[in-house]
């Protein structure tokens, strides 16, 4: 039989050579639920195999080769530690798979995941049944008993989750092999980074046990009553199951403690904030495009957390981001049937965001000093800079002019905001307050 492939894979259409059939699938999901391609296996022959780099250099940020056969998949679309990839600029490399014994290989599957150019796969797969084969030199064609099984290139396929299945033609196996060799080349994707993030490699033994595969998880949705019994919190961690336990133990108790506090802090006659809030953890890729870079956002009585941000900030800003968002839930409670909450001019964004950050940085976690004015940011600091800078301005106004500032601001969301209200609240215009605050900071910094 001629073992050399006749066709180069370059699309989602199954391609048939004299020796193998190659199929691929793509998804924007999170568990490799791919059309025409089975999900990664958890008990395949690769799980007992030894993987070794015999050409090229692994990237320092990559996971060890064991990520390729551990039966686990990455947590998100940019998870270097759970993918293996060659160093950028190394022009790929060789990965040798020692199956430990000669087996009849029914199929080989490779999986990759990235939001950009590192999703595409480009490699040639070789096999041999020799116990101690001659190892090829990198960038030279394998010689001796190595047989070319197939070539793969998914560079023309959009980014996301890629899966490639190489199986025998006419329902036959690929052959009897002891070793497999992946000759990995940089993919043809445009961009600065084109070394593929390989997530998993499966080798199915035609005579092995029944294959078990990673399944799409059942929805992870739980309801939690508040300690007072007045509120109900729903946690949806379906798309970030690894964060479910953390959220239940560390996030929700804080939300339950502070949500009633914030409601009491920002009362509006006739307006009752929702007694039910949903907290959802979602990968950045699955967030609206304009919100994919934010830590979290609130919509009505729902808060959506960027799971990628949360993982990075579990010991840092994760919980504080939740405090900021539940302030928004309270601020915008009581919308009418048209989604409106004010009878007058809409409050400027810098005011609502500054108020949320004031409660977060000066009341919830003041010890972190996350909203300071320093010599570095003083020059560009303005009372309407929004978020942390405005939070600092509000703290100064609260301490020097209006203890009820947060309540007044929240009332103006519903009753109509006018800049003239600052004179009513503090006895000074907003411009005068801004100048006075700036000067106070100048003196405090010794400038």
Could you tell me the residue range of the domain that residue 303 belongs to? 218-337
- Greatest mean pLDDT among 248-262, 271-285, 291-305 lies in 248-262
Q: How many angstroms separate the CA atoms of 277 and 267, rounded?
A: 18
Asked if 301 and 379 sit in the same domain, the reply is no
Q: Which of 105, 114, 63 is nearest to 283 (CA)?
A: 114
Residue 431 lies in a domain: yes
Residue-wise pLDDT for 105-136, tens only, equals 999 999 999 988 899 999 999 999 999 999 99
CATH for 293: 3.30.2010.30
Q: Which of 325, 258, 326, 317 is nearest to 291 (CA)?
A: 325
| Number of structural domains in the chain | 3
208 with 103: CB under 8 angstroms?
A: yes
Asked if 145 and 112 sit in the same domain, the reply is yes
Asked if 20 and 64 sit in the same domain, the reply is yes
pLDDT at 1 over 50: no
Phi-psi group of 55: left, alpha or beta (phi > 0 → left; psi -120 to 50 → alpha; rest → beta): beta
pLDDT at 369 over 70: yes
Q: Which of 395, 348, 404, 332 is nearest to 369 (CA)?
A: 395
Task: Pick the last residue of a domain from 296, 315, 337.
Answer: 337
Asked if 349 and 410 sit in the same domain, the reply is yes
Residue 182 lies in a domain: yes
Residue-wise pLDDT for 332-365, tens only, equals 987 544 555 555 567 899 999 999 999 999 999 9
Asked if 67 and 197 sit in the same domain, the reply is yes
- Does the pTM exceed 0.75? no
* Residue in the block written with tokens 């056969």: 69
Phi-psi group of 170: left, alpha or beta (phi > 0 → left; psi -120 to 50 → alpha; rest → beta): left
Residue 268 lies in a domain: yes
362 with 345: CB under 8 angstroms?
A: no
Residue 8 lies in a domain: no
pLDDT at 395 over 90: yes
Mean pLDDT of 433-445: 96
């Amino acid at each position: 039989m001629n073992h050399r492939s006749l066709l180069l894979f370059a699309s989602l259409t199954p391609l048939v050579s004299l020796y193998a059939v190659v199929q691929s699938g793509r998804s924007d999901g999170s568990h490799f639920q791919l059309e025409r391609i089975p999900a990664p296996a958890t008990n395949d022959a690769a799980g007992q195999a030894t993987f070794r780099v015999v050409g090229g250099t692994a990237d320092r940020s990559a996971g060890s080769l064991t990520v390729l056969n551990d039966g686990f998949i990455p947590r998100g679309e940019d998870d270097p530690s759970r993918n293996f990839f060659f160093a950028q600029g190394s022009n790929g490399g060789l990965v040798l798979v020692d199956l430990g014994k000669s087996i009849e290989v029914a199929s080989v599957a490779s999986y990759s995941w990235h939001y950009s150019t590192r999703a595409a796969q480009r490699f040639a797969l070789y096999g041999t049944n020799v116990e101690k084969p001659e190892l090829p030199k990198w960038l030279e064609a394998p010689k001796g008993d190595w047989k070319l099984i197939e070539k793969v290139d998914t560079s023309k396929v959009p980014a996301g989750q890629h899966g490639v299945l190489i199986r025998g033609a006419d329902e036959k196996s690929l052959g009897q092999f002891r070793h497999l060799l992946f000759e990995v080349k940089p993919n043809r994707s445009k961009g600065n980074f084109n070394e593929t993030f390989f997530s998993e490699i499966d080798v199915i033994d035609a005579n092995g046990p029944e294959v078990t595969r990673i399944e799409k998880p059942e929805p992870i949705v739980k309801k939690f009553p508040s300690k007072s019994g007045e509120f109900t919190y729903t946690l949806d961690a379906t798309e970030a199951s690894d964060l479910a336990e953390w959220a239940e133990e560390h996030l929700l108790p804080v939300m339950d403690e502070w949500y009633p506090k914030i409601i009491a802090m920002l009362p509006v006659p006739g307006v009752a904030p929702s007694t039910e809030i949903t907290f959802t953890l979602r990968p950045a890729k699955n967030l609206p495009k304009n919100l994919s870079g934010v830590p979290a956002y609130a919509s009505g009585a729902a808060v959506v957390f960027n799971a990628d941000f949360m993982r990075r900030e579990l010991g840092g800003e994760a919980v504080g981001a939740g405090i900021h968002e539940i302030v928004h839930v309270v601020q915008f409670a009581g919308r009418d049937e048209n989604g409106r909450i004010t009878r007058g001019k809409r409050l400027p964004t810098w005011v609502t965001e500054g108020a949320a950050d004031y409660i977060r940085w000066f009341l919830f976690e003041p010890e972190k000093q996350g909203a300071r004015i320093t010599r570095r940011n003083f020059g560009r600091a303005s009372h309407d800079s929004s978020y942390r800078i405005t939070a600092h301005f509000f703290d100064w106004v609260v301490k020097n002019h209006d203890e009820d500032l947060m309540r007044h601001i929240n009332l103006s969301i519903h009753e109509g905001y006018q800049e003239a209200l600052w004179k009513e609240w503090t006895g000074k215009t907003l411009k005068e307050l801004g100048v006075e605050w700036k000067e106070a900071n100048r003196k405090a910094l010794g400038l």
